[in-house]
Structure 1
Amino acid sequence: MKKLVLVAAMFVAIQANAQIKTPQASLKAEVEQVVGLTDFDINYFRPAKKGRLVFGDLVPYGKVWRTGANQNTTIEFNTQVEINGMAVQPGKYALYTIPKAEMWDVVLYKTTDNWGLPKTWNDSDVVLKTSVKPYALPHDVEYLTINVSPKNNEQGTIDLSWEKTLIQIPFTVPTHKIAMESINTNLNDAAKANDYYAAGVYLFNTNTDIKKALEYVNKSITMQNGEAPFYMLRQKSLIQAANGDKKGAVETAKKSLELSEKAGNEDYIKMNRNSILEWSKS
């Protein structure tokens, strides 16, 4: 008996001092993506296909799947997000799916510390359940892959692909609402030149209010004693042209051209020259 205890103790000591490192069967992955003003963070483990039939076999149809391996696959975002048209409050959620041949169910679940599925499924912890159509891929995806794919500052998809299957979960984020709230709240006596410039460019780029955009950019330049850099003057010229002031736009573009030549910025030199030529013909 003493020998057995001694051998067991030696085995534990060897294990504690082992230096061998081997890879996990499922690769740990993290996806971080900003869409507009919303931060997405997805953590998951990526099982491999390894020649197996995945959907309908390894991952059965019609049953809740952990959507990965090991611990919960989690998704976190810091603003309200509309997923497939349904509003979800900011937070961290476990991502579950129910794969089917014709349609997949997607579930966001409050509890995120499970190893795979919860021991007891509580419908009260389901914050979202929606359905999306699967698409057939022309090639095999060896490892489960989850990505956040922005379409613009307001929209995107959460993409899940494995084997020859792709699902895309559409979402929208409240970028414009947040940006306008920030502009309306922070353009006050404490605002700096860069604040007015950023606000003006945003209003112009989103075609929200091009007259106010010019007002804000002019305010920014005035706050810099008229010594604005070439890229700010470039933006001002574009906003002037959008407001119908082509003559003023040409004059501003010439100033931007002069400064961009001094800075040796070939991109702005070319853009200014092209704009001057175009606006001079109008």
Structure 2
Amino acid sequence: MKKSILTLAIFTIALISSTENFAQKFPKMDVSPMDAATHPNNWREADKLVKVIYSRPQLKGRSLDKLAPKDKVWRTGANEAAEITFYKDVTFGGKEVKAGTYTLFAIPTVGDWTIIISNHKNVWGSYFYKKDMDVVRVSGKVSKSDNTIEAFSIVFEGEGNNATMYMGWGKTIVSVAVKG
């Protein structure tokens, strides 16, 4: 009996110490969580045209001009620059783009915004943006929202291989056509 108790105690101590060595420390949820927008946006539809992975900063009483300054390259979200994948060759804002994964930047302006598709991938923010890696630059049409959009958001609307990408934040909505 003493031998069984001793064996059980040694086994329990070994088990506890081994789980402590392998315990992971996970970070808190990011204040600008990652999200994804796709077209078609139905999760059952596997044949996608486009997907954007981006982080969602929030205004929290700040101005859009402070977070996405006018006439400066912006990462189109927070944290890492947004990543856009075209699953087919497309016309993006009227310009041809080959199927593939790119980085999505924007330059906010007083009028329509400049939307940039870049080959410079896996970059943090826009700090390391390189103009010579641009694939295309297109005009994103600006309109105003009746309601304030607190968290930066991207959504696609359309049918089949014709969609419009909408980016909204504050009272600003920027749209770009995507056609497959």
| 1:57 alignment partner, SS class | helix
One-letter amino acid matched to 2:145: L
Q: How many residues align?
A: 155
1:41 alignment partner in structure 2: 51
The answer on whether the counterparts of 2:162 and 2:179 sit within 8 Å (CA) in structure 1 is yes
- The structure 1 residue matched to 2:141, chosen from 133, 140, 145, is 133
Cα displacement (A) at 1:19: 5.9
Superposed, which structure 2 residues align to 1:1-282 within 5 Å? 22-34=28-40, 38-54=48-64, 56-117=65-126, 119=128, 121-123=130-132, 125-150=133-158, 152-173=159-180
| Greater RCO (Cα-Cα under 8 Å, separation 6 or more) | 2
Question: Bigger radius of gyration, 1 or 2?
Answer: 1
Cα displacement (A) at 1:18: 8.1
The answer on whether the counterparts of 2:94 and 2:138 sit within 8 Å (CA) in structure 1 is no
Distance in 1 (CA, whole Å) between partners of 2:25 and 2:48 is 41
One-letter amino acid matched to 2:99: P
Q: Classify 1:34/1:133 alpha carbon distance in 2 versus 1 (closer, same or farther; 3 Å).
A: closer
Listed one character per residue, the Cα deviations across residues 200-240 of structure 1 (whole Å, up to 9, x for unaligned) are: xxxxxxxxxxxxxxxxxxxxxxxxxxxxxxxxxxxxxxxxx
Distance in 1 (CA, whole Å) between partners of 2:127 and 2:28 is 29
Distance in 1 (CA, whole Å) between partners of 2:71 and 2:160 is 35
Distance in 2 (CA, whole Å) between partners of 1:103 and 1:60 is 14
The answer on whether the counterparts of 2:93 and 2:177 sit within 8 Å (CA) in structure 1 is yes
Task: List gaps (5 residues or longer) in structure 1.
Answer: 1-15, 174-282
Q: Which moved more, 1:91-100 or 1:25-34?
A: 25-34
Q: Which moved more, 1:164-173 or 1:114-123?
A: 114-123
Listed one character per residue, the Cα deviations across residues 244-263 of structure 1 (whole Å, up to 9, x for unaligned) are: xxxxxxxxxxxxxxxxxxxx
Alignment root-mean-square deviation, CA: 2.2
Listed one character per residue, the Cα deviations across residues 133-168 of structure 1 (whole Å, up to 9, x for unaligned) are: 211111100100011212x22311011000000011
One-letter amino acid matched to 2:36: E
More helix by share: 1
User: Identical aligned pairs, as a percentage?
Assistant: 26
Give the alignment's TM-score, normalised by structure 1. Answer: 0.51
One-letter amino acid matched to 2:151: Y
| 2:110 alignment partner, SS class | coil
Distance in 2 (CA, whole Å) between partners of 1:171 and 1:29 is 20
One-letter amino acid matched to 2:106: T
Distance in 1 (CA, whole Å) between partners of 2:90 and 2:50 is 10
